[in-house]
Chain A
Amino acid sequence: MIYLDNAATSWPKPPEVLKAMTDVLEHAGGNPGRSGHRLSIAAARVVYDTREEIAQFFNISDPQRIIFTSNATHAINLVLRGILKPGDHVVISSIEHNAVMRPLRSLERQGIHLTIVPCAAHGTLDISKFERATGSTTKLIVMTHASNVTGTLLPITEIASIAHRAGALLLVDAAQTAGALPIDVPAMGIDLMAFTGHKELQGPPGIGGLVIADDVEVSQIEPLMRGGTGSRSESDEQPDDLPDKFESGTANLAGIAGLGAGLKWVKDRGVDEIRDHLKKLSQALLDGLSTLPQVRIYGTLDTERAVAIVSFTVAGKSVSEIGLRLDEEYGILSRVGLHCAPAAHKTIVSFPEGTVRLAPGVFTTLEDVQEAIQAIAKVIES
């Protein structure tokens, strides 16, 4: 079996991740921060250590500004629901995932104004168009760091300058990039960043987070949920202290431990080395696919300007048929369809059919890629 669906979730997980998850439940299984006994304290240490590791990884100086959520979608909703008020203006690109589109469409009905700046058909963004769309009423710019359909990287640093000149904040959706390439949050000018643990950070599903840059005023963000935090229990009002303001309810301890181990694995291997490895794999995919007849590849076709995601269609063949045959006849696992991103597929002109998406991961080899190309060639022939 060759797993080429790492953009949906990375697989397999490093053995260290599985071990960390069982270890924490076996040896540190208390409720972090809810009691003062040894198992509760041991659990709280695991949670804090992971928080600190993540802060260092994204170059945030205050670890309490790392907020654990269940996934990137949860972190995005936290920001959108927590900051935006009727009358606020939001600017986004036309290749955003439904994690961004759906909450914003819902908020639009409650009175926020949304401008969607179209990207080019290969997924790149015209910065001057974006600048013209941003004005004095703009409260927030939301942008994916990389398209989950084509892998195309968007110019975050330039967009951050536009946001800050307008007095707006920038929220980045780093679901596809956290762990896949170096991210320095302050250097890139990012104010808020949603990430997920289960993709290139090698953690399990069910854990993600929100990164709040050191200079962002937290009082402007309302919590998405309120409840028990283990702190200030004498009060029945939600505390303002970080991270408790945004972390009500019992934490996903096993998920956090797994994420911590996944991040450590990424750091040990080196995020630059991971980036190089994935670039080689996506280059091999692009080279192989471009020799096949009837194949159309979407995106920039430039591995420097994309993460390791390759989307394609074959003239005269449905994407679902290709996906099914690759799985059943050749054991090659891809993801076909719209990838929860109808706006992106409209932009690259693959709506409503969608594409076949191939996403190699850290454990994918060049041989795997060659085998996949041969299988795709056979599917096209017959």
Chain B
Amino acid sequence: MQNLTINDAIGQAIAEEMRRDPSVMMFGEGVATKRHELLNEFGARRIRNTPLAEGIIAGAAVGASTMGMRPVIDLLFAPFMTLAMDELVNSAGKLRYMSGGQFRFPLVAMAMTGTGWTVGAQHNHNLEAWFVHSPGLKVVMPSTAADFKGLMKSAIRDDNPVLFFIEMAMAYETGEVPEGEHLVPLGKAAVRRAGNDLTLISYGKSMRACETAASQLAEKGVFAEVIDLRSLKPLDEDAILASARKTGRVVVVHEANRMCGVGAEIAAILAEKAFDSLKAPVLRITSPDVPAPSSYPLELAFAPQADAIVAAAESLLAPTAMTSRPVLTANAG
């Protein structure tokens, strides 16, 4: 084990894959400037800066990937992906299907998002569900340094386009990372904490709020199972259903906006496939339907916090949970 920042764990994953496979390359805004260790090792042909033009960065990745390269691109901040939506959604996501399977797009598109840096709504927008909603794409959003490495390596090896979201507030935090070959499969959730009383399902930075909430609940004698989705597409339905059938009570937590977010999909899956197991309504703790604020106190009000998760959990465990659905405030959903 080694202790690395998440940013370095990502860099290590890319370096290992570039050593292993000469078709892997990386380009994007400031890539060669910021990742000079990659530039030094692999040279300016494989590690490239680009113009500040997200559309052509993504277009170059789509075109190169179908001709045998495995590009990793850095689009910096998720809201700027709106300038690459045609390339990512219409081309990478659809042209395999529309061509009858003639093409494949082994590319990874990275972007940062999330509260914590007070950057405001044009640098912070958790739009991961947009891509989950688009056929042909895969979406990951890890929460631990080890997973950032392991999922990046798997994403690079995958033959499909993978959107790789990074919580900017976590990018320079350290965590334990296995050395060498460490692969985390796409589409597999992780059970971070086992429990029988209820299930907290989350991903990204909101995982922390869930683990804090689970600790607080444990002190009160309530044992929450905590599931880290890690991959949003493919979604690990088996893990979600197994835990829901065990506990019968589920709270889904994410920083992305509430309506049509990943939490809505999970609630729908549970209603369709685990209805008989549910002892209470599925609750969502999400940001409200507002653009991400910049002011730090507003960021805290916007993003899910542990106290709201604890309150939601306790409301589900109350004897009246099935008949008296709790009404949660913006912060709590």
Decide whether A and B assemble into one complex: no
Q: Which residues of B contact A (CB under 8 A)?
A: none
